[in-house]
């Protein structure tokens, strides 16, 4: 009886299996390309508007009011120039040397090309970082699943070894002490060997719940039987009943 209760209790404990912990996703703030792509798009849009205003101002060089208005629109989309930059530009205008203008235009085109190349490289780096991050996330999931599988296989092997051990003990006990003692051990061994299949069953929750109820019921019945036997032993026999031997 005690052996059966112990086996049922073990099965009930096995029923309290926990779900594998879900790993939090890796932070993607540094690998998400949306933010950089959005900044690049806004920069391109602003640069296009500034270029359009400057182009219209040049086309209307003979109309000072148009030039003043369009350059004002262009300046609204640009940062405030530093005093040093203003000093260089005013000195260039005072000299009105075409070589200075040509050198400034060449430097501006080179700076624009360098900026485009830097943005393209940054986008490529973020896309690569996102790809590597996704691979790491996938590998973490695979390793977590592998660990859970190993734990599950280890638990199944443990139950199998317990069942095999009980079966061997039950066979030896049946041979030397009789089936009354050995057969329950054989049944317990078979039951332990089937525990992994019970856990994998889609009806596992119902089986675990039924096992808990069975353990509770058998425990209460055993306790009530012990209490009843104790009361019977302490109750003195009546005059009509012969004393118990």
Across the range 205-232, mean pLDDT stands at 78
Does some domain include residue 187?
no
Does some domain include residue 45?
yes
Higher per-residue pLDDT: 29 or 94: 94
Does some domain include residue 102?
yes
Higher per-residue pLDDT: 80 or 1: 80
Does some domain include residue 226?
no
E-strand spans in 134-173?
none
Does some domain include residue 58?
yes
Give me the pLDDT at residue 27, please: 53
Give me the pLDDT at residue 157, please: 83
Least confident of 30-44, 71-85, 100-114, 168-182: 30-44
Q: Which of 16-20, 41-45, 117-121, 194-198 has the highest mean pLDDT?
A: 117-121
Let me know if 159 is exposed, middle or buried by CB neighbors in 10 A (0-12, 13-18, 19+).
buried
Give exposure, 72-82, as e/b (b: 16+ Cβ within 10 Å): eebeeeeeeee
Least confident of 6-10, 42-46, 143-147: 6-10
Give me the pLDDT at residue 13, please: 47
Across the range 4-24, mean pLDDT stands at 49
When pLDDT is cut at 50, 70 and 90, the band that residue 236 belongs to is: low
Residue 137's Cβ-side half-sphere holds a number of Cα atoms within 13 Å equal to: 14
Does some domain include residue 174?
no
Overall number of domains in the chain = 1
Which residues form the domain of 113? 33-137
Q: Is the separation of the CB atoms in 4 and 184 below 8 Å? A: yes
What is the pLDDT of the chain when averaged over all its residues? 78
Give me the pLDDT at residue 112, please: 86
Q: What angle do CA 229, 234, 239 make, to 5 degrees?
A: 110
Does some domain include residue 110?
yes
Across the range 151-159, mean pLDDT stands at 81
Does some domain include residue 12?
no
């Amino acid at each position: 009886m005690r052996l059966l209760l112990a086996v049922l209790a073990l099965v009930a404990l096995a029923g309290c299996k926990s779900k594998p912990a879900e790993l939090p996703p890796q932070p993607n703030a540094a690998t998400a390309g949306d933010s950089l792509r959005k900044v690049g798009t806004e920069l391109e849009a602003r640069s296009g508007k500034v270029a359009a205003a400057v182009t219209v101002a040049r086309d209307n060089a003979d109309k000072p009011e148009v030039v003043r208005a369009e350059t004002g629109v262009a300046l609204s989309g640009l940062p405030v120039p530093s005093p040093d930059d203003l000093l260089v530009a005013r000195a260039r205008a005072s000299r009105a040397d075409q070589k200075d203008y040509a050198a400034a235009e060449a430097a501006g085109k080179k700076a624009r090309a360098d900026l485009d190349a830097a943005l393209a490289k940054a986008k490529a780096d973020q896309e690569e970082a996102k790809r590597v991050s996704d691979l790491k996330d996938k590998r973490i999931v695979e390793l977590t699943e592998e660990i859970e599988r190993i734990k599950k296989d280890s638990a199944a092997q443990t139950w199998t070894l317990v069942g095999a051990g009980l079966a061997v003990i039950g066979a030896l006990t049946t041979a030397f002490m009789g089936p009354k003692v050995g057969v329950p051990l054989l049944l317990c061994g078979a039951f332990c060997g089937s525990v992994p299949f019970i856990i994998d069953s889609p009806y596992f929750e119902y089986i675990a719940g039924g096992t808990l109820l069975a353990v509770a019921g058998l425990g209460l019945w055993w306790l009530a039987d012990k209490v009843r036997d104790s009361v019977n032993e302490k109750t003195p026999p009546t005059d009509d009943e012969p004393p118990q031997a």
